[in-house]
Amino acid sequence: MMESVDAQISYLKPTSLVNRRFWAPGEEVNTGEYEPYPVVIRNARQASKPFTLDEHGFAIADYPTKLDDFENKERIEEIYFPEIKKIAMEMTGADHVAIMGGQIRSSGQTGDVIQPPAAEAHVDFNEFTSQKIAKTLYDKTAQDGSGYDRFIIFSLWRVLSDPPQDWPLALCEAASVKDDEGVSNVKVDVDEIPPYEERFKPIPGEEEMVAATIFFHNPEHRWWYYPDMTKDEIVFIKFHDSDHSRAWRTPHTAFHDAGREGAKQRQSFEVRGIAYFSKERS
């Protein structure tokens, strides 16, 4: 198996200054401008030591699932979400885990339920959004809790298609990303997408709107992937760890592995959640 692959990852153009994602029923438009950059993506299975959440921001583990239908919402909530909670607690040592939701992604057919792979280097939430969502979800799911002094917003990612996959997941080692890197990509919910010139006008309160973090290219970024993942494996990805003394976020995206003969369309399922660490342990 190859030690690395040469690929392309989309980053923001240096000239992209207003970065918003307008969402309307059945349609979305980005104002941010992106372009592909050549990168080397290393085989994490051949790294000198296993990757860990606190040092690298992501980790792989074996966790078979009992779920056999990832398009059945009721079965997902009944079987898979409890599995995810257990996995997250085992991998982080957290006291409470709340599930935000799950989503199928596919490099083949997409639609209202199945979404395409991610298209650019990003982290799903920025600092402000992470703090806001963590408090809101804790208040909703742990009314009798003692509070928390740390939280991790995460994605638990599982591939559903057989290996090799045509669009694997690329993960950027947290230590290669500076704390001041990244800009907000604000989510703007609208009834219909506004005309082009309207998309760039000031929006009152924009700094407190839900936003992801997107990145300009940095040649110091170290990218990794796990080739030939199976359905019995999961990757835990940190979106935001409130303890910034550890690896606290992992930029990620999909990339086209053009060198794999017989590669199959990638289908995957990700669950977003938040792991909380109780104040009682402090």
At residue 1, the pLDDT reads 63
Q: How far apart are CA 162 and CA 20, in angstroms?
A: 35
At residue 110, the pLDDT reads 63
Q: Are 276 and 153 in contact (CB under 8 A)?
A: no
Name residue 186's beta-bridge partners.
Answer: 20, 211
Please calculate the CA angle 74-112-198 and round it to the nearest 5 degrees: 135
Which residue segment(s) compose the domain that 212 sits in? 4-281
Q: Are 148 and 276 in contact (CB under 8 A)?
A: yes
**CATH number, position 41:** 2.60.120
pLDDT digits (tens), the chain, 282 positions: 679 999 999 999 999 999 999 999 888 899 999 999 999 999 999 999 999 999 999 999 999 999 999 999 999 999 999 999 999 999 999 999 999 999 999 988 765 557 788 889 999 999 999 999 999 999 999 988 889 999 999 999 999 999 999 999 999 999 999 999 999 999 999 999 999 999 999 999 999 999 999 999 999 999 999 999 999 999 999 999 999 999 999 999 999 998 888 899 999 999 999 999 998 764
Q: Are 31 and 200 in contact (CB under 8 A)?
A: yes
Sort residue 267 into left (φ over 0), alpha (ψ -120 to 50) or beta: beta
At residue 239, the pLDDT reads 98
Q: Are 277 and 88 in contact (CB under 8 A)?
A: no
At residue 260, the pLDDT reads 85
At residue 45, the pLDDT reads 97
What count of other Cβ atoms lies within 10 Å of the Cβ of residue 259? 11
What count of other Cβ atoms lies within 10 Å of the Cβ of residue 132? 14
Q: What are phi and psi of 132, to 5 degrees?
A: -65, -45
User: Could you tell me which residues come within 8 angstroms of residue 60 by beta carbon, excluding any fewer than 6 positions away?
Assistant: 44, 51, 226, 229, 233, 234, 235, 236
At residue 113, the pLDDT reads 58
Q: Are 59 and 50 in contact (CB under 8 A)?
A: yes
H helical segments located in the chain: 53-56, 73-75, 81-92, 127-141
At residue 170, the pLDDT reads 98
pTM of the model: 0.95
Please calculate the CA angle 99-145-274 and round it to the nearest 5 degrees: 25
| Number of structural domains in the chain | 1
